Structure 1
Amino acid sequence: MAGTYTTQQGDAWDAIAHKVYGSEKYTGWLMQNNFPLLDIFVFGAGTVLQTPDPPEDDETANLPIWRTQA
């Protein structure tokens, strides 16, 4: 599954995670792997995102980094 995703006008992080990985729970993973684009909330068409294979499923692996630190 690792590869890229080219955004469509109006895509948001959670919707992209759902399209690519089948679940919004991978939103944090997607964001962590596209760090330079974190200032974008709603994408225009044509932005290429990296979509590496998701981590093994556990409760903290898929959370954004700011949610995992105490």
Structure 2
Amino acid sequence: MKTYTTVLGDTWDMIAFKIYGKEKYAKELVESNINYVETVIFSAGTVINIPEITETVDTSSMPPWKR
């Protein structure tokens, strides 16, 4: 599993955006780092685990030329 070392002022959603490009994965980060669940704003130097996330796209409702 990959890790990320926080910088002063990092938050879960900021880290998710830095790593995955989307804030919506903050929940997965928290679940992988349960020891820091109560942390809202990180200090510098905290090492957290970065889970691998694979996003699937439901193409069933897309028109054929976008599948």
Fold match, TM over 0.5?
Answer: yes
Q: Please report how far the alpha carbon of residue 55 of structure 1 lies from its aligned counterpart in structure 2 after TM superposition.
A: 4.3
RMSD over aligned CA atoms reads 1.4
Task: Say which SS state the counterpart of residue 48 (structure 2) adopts.
Answer: strand
CA deviation vs aligned residue, 1:44-69 (integer Å, no higher than 9, x gap): 000001001014447xxxxxxxxxxx
Question: % of aligned pairs identical?
Answer: 44
* TM-score with structure 1 setting the length: 0.74
Unaligned runs of 5+ in 1: 59-70
* TM-score with structure 2 setting the length: 0.77
Deviating beyond 3 angstroms after TM superposition, the runs of 4 or more aligned structure 1 residues are 55-58
CA deviation vs aligned residue, 1:14-45 (integer Å, no higher than 9, x gap): 00000011100101001000011011100000
Highest CA radius of gyration, 1 or 2?
A: 2
